[in-house]
Structure formats: C-alpha cells, structure tokens
C-alpha cells in the first residue's frame, strides 16, 4: 500500500455546476493493449452515443499501454479526426497503470472507464455517472450480478466471476456485488485522494480501489447492466485470477495491520441546512457508545471467566487483580481499534499505559467492593462475589468511557473537516497530484506524424 503521499480529507459532495460548452464534465477512458481492430468502431460508437444522449460536454481518452501493433496509430488518427477524443501513450503495460496516469492528469470532474470491446450496454452510462454528477455518490460501478442484469457469457467465466466476488465478501467483507466489470466511474476529487493509496497497476487495480473506498465509508452506487461476453477477449483468466488472489491477500494483510490511513478519508455531510446546526455535537458519539458497549460486554465476560479460573488457585483479591489486568489490556486494545478507530502501532504503548491507569481506577472500585463484602459477611458465596463485581464494573463503565474518550484517545479524528464544510469539489487536493504517476504523452490534432512515439 502507498501511504507516503496523502492529499488530505475529502470535500463535501456537491452537485456539479453547469459547465461551459467546451469544458468536459465526463472523461471516459478506454485502456487498450493491441486493440487495432476493435478500437476505431468502439470509439466511434461511443462518441455517437454520447453526442446523442449525454447532456454535458464530454471527452473520450484512449489510453494505449505498450501496444505492439498499430493501436497507437489508430488512436492518434482518431484524436485528430474527432475533437472530443484524446489519446495517451504509455510505454508500460497495465490497465491500472493506464487509468492512474489518465485520471491523475484529467481536468474533468467525473472520470469513467470501459473496456474497448464495449461488452456493456451503453444505455447504462448515463445512470452510471448521474449519481456522481448530482453529488449523491463517490464511485459508481456496473454490476453483472444484479438480479435485474442481463448477461450472456460462458459458464467458465460465470463461475470464476461469482467465486471471485464470494472470496471478496468472505475475506475482505466487501459489500459491492461485482468487482471485475469493466464499467466504472469516480469523482475526480475522490480519485485524487484514493489513487495514491492504490498499489496495483494491473487488473486488480479497480478491485483495490473499491475495497479502499468502501472501507473508508465512501458511497458506491451500483447500476445493473446488460453485458455480452466478448469471445475474442485476450484476458488470461487463470493468470489474472492468481494475481487477484495475491492482491486480496495483500489488501487483507494491510487492513488487518492497520497500515492504511483510511480513517483520514472522511466525508462531511452535505448541504442540508439541518447539518449546519450540528456544530456542537461531537462526531461519531453514538457509534462510539455502541462500540464501547459491545467491547465492554465482551471484556466483562472475559474478565469473569479469568476471575473464575483464577479463584481456584488463589485468593479473591489476587484473582481479581490478575483478571482485571489481562482483561483491561484486551479492552484497551479493542476500544483503540474498534471504538475509536485508531490503527497502526503508533502510540500503542502510550495508550496501554494510560489504559493501565484506568485499570487502577477500576481495580480500586472492584477491590473496594470485595473488601466491603468481606467486612459485611464471613466467607461470602462465590455467586455473591460475582454479583458484587458485576455491579462494581457497571459503576466503573461510564467513568471508563469518559476517561478513554477524553484522555486516552482525546478527540481522535480532530483533523476531520468541521461542519459546515464549505469546500468546493476538487479544491482540497489541488497541488497534491501523485509524483510517481507514469508519464504520458498526449496526442494533439496538430501532431505531424501519427506513429511518432518519441
């Protein structure tokens, strides 16, 4: 995962304003590799469809990644003949590399891509990008696995596609239905924040993008599509599947270790007037309370189990101290990760030390309760001890939450954008384009030699 360059938090989603006729709102990228036969009819068909149906200005960008046939010649000729068509040539192969390069350089507020074979029905293009233009969603994907989709393809591809998406659901808890459909769109401001975090440069690129976006809490819109398999596709299914599985393992490991700064990919509320009245309300309080209660219930059961086991070998005070020590460390770690969303190892030792101070307060309460019970009754029953301990832990719960929130994890996420968020889309990331993006060479109508790739 790329974590060295981070553009910052996302601005509030806004409906894109009506642009001038010459300013493209949508940039549709067609990544190609050795597509000399299909490229021209594909681009002309897409251009005719957008001219007839799309209400905004648009651009079609051909991203040729290391073709060895006449694909670049065809792309350059189309760029000269059609004003809305541009072409970029990359010396290295990789669909993800091509998308990263063109999307990073594009000035259109909505970026999309589709495969050169146009397997997806173009009538789904406007429904795909409309939620991004309106500000409703951050990303949009075409889904061949929706109940209302109509798909024509062989059983082998069908089984592989469904198995792959089941793997994503089971291993990465993905909720989107179709990661591999070559028909996706993203807002430019979102792309500028997410692209530096995406490592893959091949077929796993868009899956990685979707997983990171979903884990960051961004909104992904799905559009059912009609899709017809291209029998002449040159995609190596087995090799691509193995690379995808390696990508799933890499992403899963990064998410498990907390090495991705996804907690910084915040998205403020929209422009609803009711949102502007929330300036005095701490963000995420309800979610943190729920998380704290769940972690507290689990750690209490863990504590009682440890106490019951320790009580067989030592006295009540010693068993209580040992059980409280172990369960408190587990409680601090769990609250750190799940309640307050702190990831990575930074500050973990300090948090555990502060958690031990909170433990001291809990120890004083529970030990004092046991001492009071021993003073009130000789040899109290084990069930009575447990009841007293439960009451003491419940009494300490509110104080523990306040200490964790105000002292151990004070204002975590204070870097997030306050309400109201009056940042225009695309402004937050200006000046933060990724330096490592592959260099591209645009084809211009006045280029004298179509085949010149110097």
- Under a CB-based contact definition with an 8 Å cutoff, are residues 309 and 318 in contact? no
The 3-state DSSP class for residue 183 equals: strand
Known catalytic residue: 411?
no
Prior bond of 50 cis (ω within 30°): no
- Under a CB-based contact definition with an 8 Å cutoff, are residues 193 and 10 in contact? yes
d(CA 366, CA 390): 9
d(CA 98, CA 88): 9
Residue 20 has which token pair?
């001038």
Dihedral of the alpha carbons of 170, 214, 117, 247, in degrees to the nearest 10: -50
d(CA 39, CA 75): 8
d(CA 437, CA 221): 27
Q: For 220, list phi and psi in degrees, rounded to 5.
A: -110, 120
Helices (H), 173-284: 188-194, 205-215, 237-257, 273-276
List 59's β-bridge partners, or say none.
27
- The CB-side HSE value for 404 (13 A sphere, CA atoms) comes to 33
Q: For 273, list phi and psi in degrees, rounded to 5.
A: -55, -30
Residue 107 has which token pair?
């000035």
- Under a CB-based contact definition with an 8 Å cutoff, are residues 2 and 187 in contact? no
Q: Which of 27, 64, 138, 206 is catalytic?
A: 206
Active site residues: 206
């Amino acid at each position: 995962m790329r974590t060295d360059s981070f553009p910052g938090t996302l601005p509030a989603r806004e409906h894109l304003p009506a642009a001038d006729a010459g300013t493209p709102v949508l940039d549709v990228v067609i990544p190609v590799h050795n597509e000399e036969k299909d490229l021209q009819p594909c681009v002309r068909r897409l251009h005719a469809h957008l001219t007839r149906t799309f209400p905004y200005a648009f651009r079609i960008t051909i991203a040729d990644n290391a073709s060895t046939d006449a694909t670049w010649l065809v792309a350059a000729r189309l760029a000269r003949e059609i004003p809305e068509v541009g072409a970029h040539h990359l010396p290295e192969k990789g669909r993800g590399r091509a998308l990263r390069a063109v999307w990073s350089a594009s000035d259109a507020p909505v970026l999309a891509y589709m495969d050169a074979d146009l397997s997806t029905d173009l009538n789904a293009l406007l429904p795909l990008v409309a939620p991004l233009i309106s500000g409703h969603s951050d990303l949009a994907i075409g889904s061949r696995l929706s109940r209302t989709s109509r798909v024509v393809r062989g059983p082998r591809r069908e089984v592989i596609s469904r198995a792959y998406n089941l793997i994503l659901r089971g291993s990465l808890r993905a909720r989107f239905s179709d990661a591999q459909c070559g028909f996706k769109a993203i807002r430019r401001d979102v792309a500028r924040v997410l692209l530096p975090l995406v490592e893959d440069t091949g077929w796993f690129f868009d899956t990685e993008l979707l997983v990171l976006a979903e884990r960051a809490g961004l909104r992904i819109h799905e559009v059912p599509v009609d899709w017809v398999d291209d029998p002449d596709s040159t995609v190596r299914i087995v090799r691509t599947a193995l690379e995808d599985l390696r990508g799933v393992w890499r992403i899963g490991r990064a998410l498990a270790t907390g090495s991705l700064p996804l907690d910084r990919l915040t998205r403020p509320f929209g422009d609803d007037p009711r949102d502007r009245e929330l300036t005095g309300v701490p963000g995420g309080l309800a979610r943190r309370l729920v998380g704290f209660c769940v972690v507290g219930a689990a750690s209490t059961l863990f504590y009682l189990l440890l106490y019951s086991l320790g009580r067989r070998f030592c006295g009540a005070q010693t068993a209580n101290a040992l059980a409280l020590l172990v369960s408190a460390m587990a409680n601090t770690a769990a609250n750190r990760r799940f309640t307050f969303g702190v990831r990575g190892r930074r500050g973990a030792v300090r948090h555990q030390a502060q958690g031990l101070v909170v433990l001291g307060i809990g120890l004083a309460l529970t030990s004092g309760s046991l001492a009071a019970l021993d003073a009130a009754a000789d040899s109290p029953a084990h069930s009575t001890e447990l009841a007293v301990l439960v009451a003491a832990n419940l009494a300490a719960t509110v104080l523990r939450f306040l200490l964790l929130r105000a002292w151990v994890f004070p204002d975590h996420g204070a870097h997030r954008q306050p309400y109201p968020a009056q940042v225009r889309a695309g402004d937050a990331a200006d000046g933060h384009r990724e330096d490592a993006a592959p260099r591209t060479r645009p084809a211009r109508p006045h280029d004298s030699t179509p085949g010149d790739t110097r």
